[in-house]
Structure 1
């Protein structure tokens, strides 16, 4: 079942804020009032995961400039996130929040929990300021994600939100033409 257009479910979790070095509490309320990227990954101290999270960090300043906060989530604890941050060259660069989901509730509510393994799949969600999922991507365990693709998706989602009645066509870039769906366009594109 798709989560697109649905509000994220309530949750409360402990997290490690890599930027400040503090343990914090996070809930769905933290994701409201701003754009959010929620990036699920299988586990700390693994192989593909640090490459993805480090790549996401490389986009973090750009995402912040767009009013987006980033949250990574795995079924590890917030303590494990801190230990990984303290001992991995790649993860030590992170500045965003790393949510612990040992209860698996958050992973389950975003429908990315591999029940058999007890781990989150590689899911990325763009959540709007109302807490509504606007985009989702889920990859198999062996396929790492490219965080640079988030920037264009977020710009498109923000444009559509701010310009009702307009949509962004394939490969849309900021400043390029959009479409206004109407009967005049049916069959002509």
Structure 2
């Protein structure tokens, strides 16, 4: 079953952000756009490159009204230790959620049960807490956060303009489509 169009399931977790431990739940993802980025584990190889890249895009994401949550099945204590010891992760200022109970990873259907780790999964969530986009990649394939911005802008546009859709390679300000009988077979 696809998670597209479903509401984020309830959870409560401890997280690390900007030198502090905080509590986070699905309620934090309502009222604004959110990106939830799952990754397999702290102190690994591809993961720090992805999280650093996400940090490089964080100001732009904040400018378009998006909060970022990274999640692994490590604890918030491990996130702090990684933050304190890795040059790449030391740059991260967005929320790093610990999911040692695997609740969140199961909720988002990214848990690799036999490994106790999450797949690389990226979720775009609208202000109503509804999942609008999902991307899952194999463990050895790192993601590019710059591609996320275009997807979010398209999701925001469609959310704010019912009856319109964004074609492939759509960029902010470009023409959209209005599905109708007159449009069938004309593209």
Give yes or no for TM over 0.5: yes
TM-score (norm 2): 0.99
Aligned pairs, number: 187
Q: Of 48, 66, 69, which aligns to 1:68?
A: 66
Corresponding residue number in structure 2 for 1:127: 125
Map of 2:55 onto structure 1: 57
Alpha-carbon distance in 2 for matches of 1:180, 1:103: 44
State the distance in 2 between where 1:119 and 1:87 align: 21
Tell me if 1:16 matches 2:16: yes
Q: Which residue of 1 aligns with 2:105?
A: 107
> C-alpha separation between the residues in 1 aligned to 2:3 and 2:147?
20
Determine whether 1:91 maps to 2:89. Answer: yes
Q: What is aligned with 2:80? A: 82
Inter-partner Cα distance in structure 1 for 2:162 and 2:29: 22
Report the secondary structure of 1:131's partner residue.
coil
Structure 1: stretches of 5+ with no match in the other structure: none
RMSD: 0.4
Cα distance in 1, alignment partners of residues 2 and 123 from structure 2: 12
SS in 2 for 1:169: coil
Q: CA deviation at 1:187?
A: 1.0
1:129-157 deviation per Cα after TM superposition (whole angstroms, max 9, x unaligned): 00000000000000000000110001001
Q: Which residue of 1 aligns with 2:3?
A: 3
Q: Following superposition, which runs of at least 4 residues in structure 1 exceed 3 angstroms of deviation?
A: none
Q: Hey, what's the Cα distance between the residues in 1 that align with 2:115 and 2:88?
A: 25
- Name the CA distance, whole Å, in 1 between partners of 2:123 and 2:159: 16
The corresponding residue for 1:47 is 45
User: 1:115-174 CA distances to partner (integer Å, 9 max, x unpaired)?
Assistant: 010000000000000000000000000000000011000100110111111000000000
After TM superposition, give the deviation of residue 188 of structure 1 in Å.
Answer: 1.1
Given candidates 147, 162, 167, the residue that maps to 1:164 is 162
Q: How high is the TM-score relative to the length of structure 1?
A: 0.98
